[in-house]
Amino acid sequence: MNSFIKSIGLPFLAGIAGAACWSYLEINSAQTSEIGSADSPNTEMQFTAAFRPATQADGLTLPVSFVEASQNSTESVVFIKNFSGTDPRRYSMFDYFFGTGPTQQVSTGSGVIISKDGYIITNNHVIDRAETIEVVHQKRTYSAKLVGTDKNTDIAVLKIEATNLPEIKRGNSRSLQIGEWVLAVGNPFNLTSTVTAGIVSAKERQINILGGDFPLESFIQTDAPINPGNSGGALVNIKGELVGINTAILSRTGSYTGYGFAVPVDIALKIANDLIKFGEVQKAIPGIDVVELTPELAEEMKLKSLDGVIVTHILRGGSAEKVGLQKDDVIIKIDDWKITGKGSFEEALSYFYPGSKVAVEYMRNGNLKTAQLTLQNLEGGEGVIKREFFTSVLLGAKLESVNTIEKDRLKVPYGIKITSMTRGYLRDLGFRDGFVITHINQIPAKDPKAAGKYLEEFSGKLRLEGVAPNGQPFMQSYNVK
């Protein structure tokens, strides 16, 4: 019996004593945590501080909620509908007689009100090939006029006839910091504006998705979810100020997977202002081509830093040639803007106008050099340009004269470039965007309007000469009725 009591009773009493001791230690630890100071830190206090909500007393800037930012931005975001026809050549005669034939297609996206009198900024791909554009704002539908587009940045500007619209507050993308909270605001599928939150993951991102002759990619990367229908919507900071135009997602499925990209607002608004004021973007060029500096190139050129861009081509008669820049120079700074890669190089130049003077710092053979160069326009001059265009429904294209950069690249003295193609005569002849016509029936093609009118009215044997987008020359003859 004594043995039984010892084997059962003693462990039982030890357990009670242990529990009492543990309770005492736990209470004492909690009391120590409540009165702990910086002089006597303890693990329990640090753990509690790490997981409790941040307060104003902590000196942190984490927002308690995004209500204010949402209220300041959602009313400025609109729903956009793009109406376009279907190419009849996609249908057979069987479809015409027994099917529905060509039908109208509708694509949608978002946009941001940037002025009280009805100017709206969106993505070029949202309104691409549109025959009719409608904007829906607060359940009202407006017919929209296309003011201008820029494929190089995927920005477009619309105008609706309205007054006292809720113009969005403008922020500053240059001062935006990695890790800062942002909201993606969109109006997908004509739903009430949707808001998602995240942070700025990176800046000056290049993902090689833009078209145009001079693609300008310096995206803000964010993990704020951007889903289909949000293209052209607003990226705003925690004050509800516009800091970017949501443009793209990186995804294999077409749905958001954690990588969203926005055009910085400083770039987007400069593009929009140019389109409104001049009808086209006033691009300022230094007269060089550059590439990103890679570890392999840095090793080959014996460079210690990966910052900067390498000059690969000097435009004949351009600004860079005049001040002595050479191939393989490494540009590391433009004015006060440090050049870390091609994205920052393009963004730095995007804020200037033709005629602006900029200081350029570059490395040559290990030596630091500087040059003061005057930026030029696409025609080689230093003033604002307003190029001539000719748009033809019959031809199904917009015709424009080639610029200085294109003349240098294609090795042509002049020409008319085919852009913005839709259904029409030129597509039937086999042309696509980017073809340059230099001669029509052996006559030099220099004036877009004269060339367009001639093609609209001509019948008989037509001979066209020029250069394809890949630089290959062509010469074709057609019998036009």
Q: How confident is the model at residue 21 (pLDDT cuts 50, 70, 90)?
A: very low
All residues at 6 or more sequence positions from 221 whose CB lies less than 8 Å from its CB, including other chains: 200, 201, 202, 203, 205, 259, 260, 261
Contact 123, 231 (CB under 8 A): yes
Q: What is the mean pLDDT of the chain?
A: 81
Angle at 57 between CA 51 and CA 58, to 5 degrees: 45
Worst-scoring range by mean pLDDT, 25-29, 48-52, 160-164?
48-52
Per-position DSSP letters for 89-120, written without gaps between them? GGS-HHHHHHS--S-EEEEEEEEEE-STTSEE
Mean pLDDT of 431-438: 91
Q: Check residue 34 and give its pLDDT.
A: 30
Query: What CA–CA distance (Å, rounded) separates 248 from 123?
Result: 10
Share of the chain above pLDDT 90, in %: 47
pLDDT digits (tens, 9 = 90+) for 194-208: 899 999 999 988 887
Predicted local distance difference test score (pLDDT) of residue 425: 86
pLDDT-wise least confident of 15-29, 336-350, 397-411: 15-29
What amino acid positions are annotated as catalytic residues? 125, 154, 231
CA angle 205, 206, 212 (to 5 degrees): 135
Two structure tokens written together for 100? 């529905």
Helices (H), strands (E): how many in the chain? 12, 25
